[in-house]
Amino acid sequence: MTPIRPTTRCARVARAFSLVEVLIAVLVLSLGLLGLGAVFPMVMREQRLATETNLGISAGNAIEQMLFSRPDFARNGGPGWEAMREYLINNNGRSGEWIPIEPDDSNAAQLNAYIFTHPDTGVDYHIPLAQRLYPVPYSTNQNPRFVWDMAARLLDTDSSTIDTSPILVAIFLRPIDPGIKPAINSNGQPYSVLSTLIDSNLSGRDRRNPVSVDRRGRPTQDGRRDRGAMYATPIVAEAIIGPGIGGSGGEYDKLVVQKVLRPQMTTADAGVLITVPGQQFLDYRGFVHTVTETSDIGGTVRAAIISPAIADVNGDGSVTSDDYNPILFLPQPSNVKPIVFTVNP
């Protein structure tokens, strides 16, 4: 009988991860999560901008319909436009420069309303703030997202015909200040954002502007009306575009603010506001340009690189300040293109 030999079993050793390998894996995973975390805000921002742009297009169409459906502001002319022309003449618009329409802050019942007085009849034509908000108050349960503001200029500045001049009108659709904090009522509850903007029963202390700037003209983002803050009207300025700043071949794509015409603010502050990427401005003729990036041109001065560039619109072989000055832009950039049209009251 053959003896049975004992078999030798080789024990399998289960190999585990070492501490170094675990740490490397955690490091790689952490780097990946950090990268993903950096992407999320960009994606959210792009989604927000796209939503605002789409909503802004809808709002722009609604604004035109609302404004031109009023008999006093019909596109083919109306007494409201005649009253606006008188407003421009009385506010130093005889030179043909852009004149921002300043909301009237004196009437608590219609705070921040546009008021134009007809030169012949003396009738006042109002565009209340409630009609310049979007969505239109009480049409939905949403708080207003945008407010629109106007600027205009006379196209004919001849002293004998200025009273019948056509008007170039620009409408800016602007996001409402995101940091508005409504006041608290007697029951300890906050008012709605809409109430803080248009409710005539609220005191001046509790009211808010839809868009505000501080006493230097810089955006506050909180709608405040105290500490020198005021309604943020569009800015009119003269700019330099030309040799030594940028451009060639009759087209110029760099811009520097040289002088602020209105409202009262420093050239340096206006220069900072115009160089925000995405900022849009109108030149003298009403053409829209967008700031795509900024460029250092020496010292503390930064130039706005714009698209499209300023072109030789006269065809005389050169670009002069008369081709684009003065320019018109907002303190707070809006990614919604301004609406520009001509009326002939």
- 210 and 273 belong to one structural domain: no
3 state SS of 340: strand
pLDDT at residue 108 in the model: 78
pLDDT at residue 52 in the model: 63
- 138 and 86 belong to one structural domain: yes
| Cα separations in angstroms, 246 against 243, 280, 290, 306 | 6, 19, 16, 11
28: in domain: no
What average pLDDT does this structure show over 74-89? 92
- 162 and 68 belong to one structural domain: yes
How many domains does the chain contain in total?
2
2: in domain: no
Q: Which of 199, 233, 267 is the last residue of a domain?
A: 233
What average pLDDT does this structure show over 115-144? 90
Residue range 229-255, pLDDT digits in tens: 999 999 999 998 865 564 444 558 888
Q: Residue 125 belongs to what domain range?
A: 46-233
Instruction: Write the DSSP symbol of residue 251.
Output: B
d(CA 290, CA 274): 10
Q: In degrees to the nearest 10, what's the CA dihedral of 104, 105, 106, 107?
A: 80
Instruction: Give me 117's structure tokens.
Output: 């007085």
- 179 and 202 belong to one structural domain: yes
d(CA 279, CA 221): 16
Instruction: Give me 16's structure tokens.
Output: 């585990």
- 322 and 222 belong to one structural domain: no
φ, ψ for residue 48, nearest 5 deg:
-65, -45
pLDDT at residue 127 in the model: 94
- 211 and 239 belong to one structural domain: no
3 state SS of 134: strand
CB 196 within 8 A of CB 176: no
316: in domain: yes
337: in domain: no
Prediction pTM value: 0.81
> Does residue 201 carry a pLDDT above 90?
no
CB 140 within 8 A of CB 126: no
- 190 and 314 belong to one structural domain: no
14: in domain: no
pLDDT at residue 129 in the model: 94
pLDDT at residue 249 in the model: 47
d(CA 22, CA 30): 12
pLDDT at residue 61 in the model: 77
Q: Which of 177, 198, 233 is the last residue of a domain?
A: 233
73: in domain: yes
Average pLDDT, the chain: 84
- 211 and 73 belong to one structural domain: yes
φ, ψ for residue 84, nearest 5 deg:
-65, -40
pLDDT at residue 148 in the model: 94
Instruction: Write the DSSP symbol of residue 176.
Output: P
- 158 and 227 belong to one structural domain: yes
157: in domain: yes
Contacts of 57 (CB under 8 A, 6+ apart): 336
For the chain, percent of residues with pLDDT exceeding 90: 46
What average pLDDT does this structure show over 290-307? 84
- 89 and 102 belong to one structural domain: yes
Q: Give the residue, 41 or 218, on which the prediction is more confident.
A: 218
Q: Which of 211, 233, 255 is the last residue of a domain?
A: 233
- 130 and 269 belong to one structural domain: no
pLDDT at residue 9 in the model: 52
- 158 and 114 belong to one structural domain: yes
Residue range 17-65, pLDDT digits in tens: 677 777 888 888 877 777 666 655 555 555 555 566 666 677 777 888 8
9: in domain: no
